[in-house]
Copies of this chain bind each other. A is one copy, B any other.
Amino acid sequence: MERVTLSRRKRPLSNEVCDRIVNDYIANGNVKPGSLLPSEKELTAKYDVSRVTLRAAIKSLHDRGLVSVRNGVGATVLPRPPVSSKIVHHLERLASLDKAASEAGKLLETEDLKWGESIVTPEISTKLRLPVGDPVYFVQRSKILDEARIAWTIDWLPTTIIDLDLIRSEFKGSLLDALLQHSELELNYADLEIVPQILNSEIAEHLGTPTGGPVLYLDTVVYGAAGQPDIWGQVWVLPEHVRFFIRRHMQF
C-alpha cells in the first residue's frame, strides 16, 4: 500500500490517483486495450484512498476517453487512437502542435519568427474583446519538420496580460506552452474553429508551397478562468504532415 499524496500544485487527490493509474497500468501497456483494470478493492488498497476518491479517479479516466465503465463489470481499457508516422494532433486537448510533435518523438523548428505590436482591427476586436485601434501584441512564425514547412502561425494577445519581453525570453516555439507556464494567467480552455481552405498565395508563400492545395485553418481563442479571451491564434497546417483527431464522447 502506497499512500498517494498531493504534489505541490493544488489539485484534487482523485486527479493524482487518475494519473497514477495511467502510469501504472495504461501508458506502459500493463493492461492491454479490451482488458479490465484491477478491481476497486485492489486499487483503493494499492493507493490507500477511499472508494469515493477512487471512483472520481475512474470517472476522470472515463472522461479522458481511456476506459469504459460498466456497473458490476469494472473499467475496461479502451484502444488508443491510431498512431501514424505523421504528427498526430488530438484537438480536444488544449496542447500545442509542438507538444504533439514531441510526443511523436519529433522536433518542430521555428523560422521567420517575428514579434511586435500592432493595432486592434475589427476582427481582432471580435476575438479578443479589445477596442478597435488599441495596441495589441502579435507573434508570427513558420513551423518546420524535417526541413519541410508544415505550418504558418500568428498569435495575437492583449498588451495587458503579460510583458512581451518576458514571454519572448521564455518562448521555445509555442506561445501557448510559454503562457501555460504562467499559472497566474489561469488559462482554462479554448474554442477552436476548423476550416478547410485552399492555399492562397499569401499562406503558400509563408509555407514555401505552390498555391491551390488543401490546408487546414485552425482558429483558436484561449480563455482564462474568468472567461476573458487571452490569446487568438491563427494556424494554417499542411495535412501531408499532420493528422488531426478528436475523441468524441456522448454528452448533453
A-B contact pairs, 7 of them (CB 8 A): A34-B227, A52-B52, A76-B226, A78-B189, A82-B193, A180-B250, A198-B214
Are B227 and A188 in contact, CB atoms less than 8 angstroms apart? no
Q: Which residues of B contact A245 (CB under 8 A)?
A: 191-194
On A, residues with C-beta under 8 Å from B are 10, 33-34, 52, 56, 59, 63-65, 68, 70-71, 76-79, 81-82, 91-95, 180, 186-198, 212-216, 220, 223, 225-227, 239, 243-252
Are A187 and B250 in contact, CB atoms less than 8 angstroms apart? yes
Q: Which of B33, B68, B77, B195 contacts A239 (CB 8 A)?
A: B195
Are B10 and A71 in contact, CB atoms less than 8 angstroms apart? yes
Are A244 and B198 in contact, CB atoms less than 8 angstroms apart? no
Q: Given A34-B226, A189-B249, A194-B244, 20 other A-B contacts at CB below 8 A?
A: A63-B63, A68-B189, A68-B225, A76-B227, A78-B223, A79-B223, A91-B194, A91-B246, A91-B248, A92-B248, A94-B248, A95-B252, A188-B250, A190-B247, A190-B248, A194-B245, A194-B246, A195-B244, A196-B196, A246-B246
User: Shortest distance in angstroms between A101's beta carbon and chain B's nearest beta carbon?
Assistant: 15
Are A191 and B82 in contact, CB atoms less than 8 angstroms apart? yes
Known: A214-B197, A227-B68. A191 touches B81 (CB 8 A): yes
In the bound complex, what is the Cα–Cα distance between A78 and B222 (angstroms)? 12
Q: Which residues of B contact A244 (CB under 8 A)?
A: 193-195
- CB-nearest residue of chain B relative to A193? B245
User: Shortest distance in angstroms between A148's beta carbon and chain B's nearest beta carbon?
Assistant: 17
